[in-house]
Chain A
Amino acid sequence: MAKSKMIPFTGDQAVAYAMKQIEPDVVAAYPITPQTEIVMNFSNYVANGQVQTEMIPVESEHSAMSACVGAAAAGARTMTATSANGLALMWEIVYIAASTRLPMVMPVVNRALSGPINIHCDHSDTMGARDSGWIQIYCENAQEVYENTILAVRIAEHKKILLPVMVCQDGFITSHGVEGVALLDDKKVKDFIGEYNIENPLLDVDNPVTYGPLDLQDYYFEHKRQQSEAMKNALIAIPEVLNEFEKTFGTKYEFIEKYKLDDAEVAIVAMSSTAGTVKFVVDELRQKGIKAGLLRPRIFRPFPKEKIVQALKNIKAVAILDRSESFSAEGGPLYTEIKSGLYDSDIKPLVTNYIYGLGGRDIFPEDIKKVYKDLEEILSKKKVINPLNYLGSRE
């Protein structure tokens, strides 16, 4: 990357700055914990008159999402932000936002759900919402969170998609860590996101429409079908936005990132900041002649099955790292989805799962090296003995 002036930002500050540049019509948010500094920093921009956004502080996260639904239906470009139990409290309306096809953007700081009470990083909050109908982007670092918050506006508002988007970053690790972030030009951002014009605004009294009606056995199913189709469309339409972003700003984002994967024999699949630590280990192992690689899914919803499966085509043994537990007794969500994706293909690497990092348990290079070592053992024995593992947990 050509190095422009880097600004020291936490992930939270980077998101707030992206929101400043986006300048949504409405931001409705719950102002206290489990809320993060995203909303605090953005509120400063509002209070200082740096944006004209209508800021609505509400009494709960449930109300925050409800206000966002109303604003988005009216035709406002709408954002909020949340984290952990805040997202859990929004739950009911999170589903309604998606099924009403309201294109809003919600940065989420990934943190554990209680209980036991814990405020640190894992993905149980957004992984729990994986079936809510939202698009989900998982970011590795502050730079990516910043740029993807801007990208997400265009994805959400794409005429063939019209779905809300969560832009996820790792709690504390990314959200509270300071890194250099290269900022994009204000005007270029404004031009890239453009004006938002909703097709059927709720408040257009000359062309009245209905939002959120009772929808029983007669049409509910068809509406859910449309929602399914929208998510399938997203697989096709998202690359248009990614390409345009690359043309405008120079950074190429894709559904997945491959790191030294093409000639790898053993690979780890991991999302968000952990993928960065895996890259660090891959570099070290490569120097020792071990053919290690990484696959990082960036977009988890829609699930880019074809791309993931194809990326694994030369891999002999793969470990899938989940920073959340689905309590299916069959492994974490990333593991089960990738495994099911492989079923229909001829690509059949040996696959194993590691749940790790719950409640902010740190994952060190040594932990990741152990996974690669396990993979080499699997490779030599040509079979997986323990498909479900807990990395860094006391036994």
Chain B
Amino acid sequence: MAMIEVRWHGRGGQGAKTASQFLGEAALDTGKYIQAFPEYGPERAGAPMKAFTRISDKPMTIHSSVTSPDIVVVIDPTLVSAIDVTEGLGDNGVLLVNTDKSPADVRKEVNFTKGKVGTVDATRIALETLNLPMPNMPMLGALLKVNQLVSIEELSERVKAKFLKKIGKEKTNANLEGIKQAYDEVKIG
């Protein structure tokens, strides 16, 4: 696998950084080389922020932030109209958005005609499974549907390793359920 670059858009406190790390760490567990890092600005809950994941079969020496991502994941639906989420996204790029809209509607909204667009109502899924509006884990599940960087099982192992001690079995399982549900529900077009 050549280097795959993922850019995450969220707002401070929504778990974009955590999602970027979980994806990287799950890939690391499978023997890949990884980088996961947020773009630090003034750290404020609610402010738009970015995080990045790089995954490759070979060691990576590049240490600048990602400018031409293969995949963009928008965790917060309101960012679609607030910033240019498709910036640097190439002809085969994938745009994945947390929204109840269809891929066709999102394409129109952001004027993106290339690649693939995926949509999933990750906030609703998070509310149903976890009872919290934390869409980051469902977005990870949706991401694996468009590009199987790791399997659902491999990601689940990593999520368990990170969460079990911290938030307990019940909430961890709710997160795993959210991941699976988003994987099943994501619409691609």
The interface of chain A, by Cβ under 8 A from chain B, is: 1, 3, 6, 8, 119-120, 140-141, 170, 172-174, 176-180, 273-277, 279-280, 362-365
Chain B residue at minimal CB-CB distance from A283: B61
Q: What are 20 A-B pairs at a CB distance below 8 A?
A: A8-B25, A8-B28, A119-B40, A141-B63, A173-B63, A174-B63, A178-B21, A178-B34, A178-B36, A178-B37, A179-B35, A180-B33, A180-B34, A276-B62, A276-B63, A277-B62, A362-B64, A362-B65, A365-B62, A365-B64
Known contacts A176-B38, A180-B33, A276-B61; 15 further A-B pairs (Cβ under 8 A): A3-B31, A6-B28, A8-B25, A8-B34, A120-B40, A170-B63, A176-B37, A177-B36, A178-B24, A274-B63, A276-B62, A277-B64, A362-B65, A364-B67, A365-B64
Binary A-proximity of B31-61 (CB < 8 A = 1, otherwise 0): 1011111101000000000000000000111
Chain A residue at minimal CB-CB distance from B36: A178
Evaluate contact between A277 and B40: CB separation under 8 angstroms.
no
Q: List the 6 shortest-distance A-B pairs measured between CB atoms, nearest first.
A: A177-B37, A276-B61, A273-B63, A280-B62, A178-B36, A8-B25
**Chain B residues, CB < 8 A from A3:** 31
Q: How far is the CB of A356 from chain B (nearest CB, A)?
A: 11
Residues of chain B from 2 to 46 with CB closer than 8 A to chain A in the complex: 21, 24-25, 28, 31, 33-38, 40
Q: How far is the CB of B39 from chain A (nearest CB, A)?
A: 9
Evaluate contact between A277 and B61: CB separation under 8 angstroms.
yes
**Chain B residues, CB < 8 A from A174:** 63
**Interface residues in B, total, Cβ within 8 A:** 20
Chain B residue at minimal CB-CB distance from A259: B61
**Chain A residues, CB < 8 A from B62:** 276-277, 280, 365
Residues of chain B from 115 to 164 with CB closer than 8 A to chain A in the complex: none
**Chain A residues, CB < 8 A from B65:** 362, 364
A174 to B36, CA, bound (A): 10
**Chain A residues, CB < 8 A from B59:** 1
Q: How far is the CB of B92 from chain A (nearest CB, A)?
A: 20
**Chain A residues, CB < 8 A from B61:** 140-141, 275-277, 279-280
**Chain A residues, CB < 8 A from B36:** 8, 177-178
Known contacts A8-B21, A8-B28, A178-B21; is-contact A363 B64 (Cβ 8 Å):
yes
**Chain B residues, CB < 8 A from A276:** 61-63
Chain B residue at minimal CB-CB distance from A174: B63
**Chain B residues, CB < 8 A from A275:** 61
**Chain A residues, CB < 8 A from B24:** 8, 178
Known contacts A8-B24, A8-B28, A362-B65; is-contact A176 B35 (Cβ 8 Å):
no
A177 to B64, CA, bound (A): 11
Evaluate contact between B25 and A173: CB separation under 8 angstroms.
no
Chain A residue at minimal CB-CB distance from B64: A364
A364 to B65, CA, bound (A): 8
Chain B residue at minimal CB-CB distance from A279: B61
A180 to B28, CA, bound (A): 7
A141 to B67, CA, bound (A): 20
A6 to B38, CA, bound (A): 21
Chain A residue at minimal CB-CB distance from B59: A1
Residues of chain B from 53 to 89 with CB closer than 8 A to chain A in the complex: 59-65, 67
A119 to B61, CA, bound (A): 24
Evaluate contact between B33 and A173: CB separation under 8 angstroms.
no
A277 to B36, CA, bound (A): 16
A173 to B38, CA, bound (A): 9
Q: How far is the CB of A270 from chain B (nearest CB, A)?
A: 11
A200 to B91, CA, bound (A): 68
A362 to B63, CA, bound (A): 9
A246 to B31, CA, bound (A): 24
Chain B residue at minimal CB-CB distance from A275: B61
**Chain A residues, CB < 8 A from B25:** 8, 178
Given B33, B40, B67, which contacts A176 in the complex, CB threshold below 8 Å? B40
A3 to B59, CA, bound (A): 11
**Chain B residues, CB < 8 A from A8:** 21, 24-25, 28, 34, 36
Chain B residue at minimal CB-CB distance from A171: B40
**Chain B residues, CB < 8 A from A141:** 61, 63
**Chain A residues, CB < 8 A from B34:** 8, 178-180
**Which of A140, A173, A180, A274 has most chain B Cβ within 10 Å?**
A180
A333 to B134, CA, bound (A): 47
**Chain A residues, CB < 8 A from B35:** 177-179
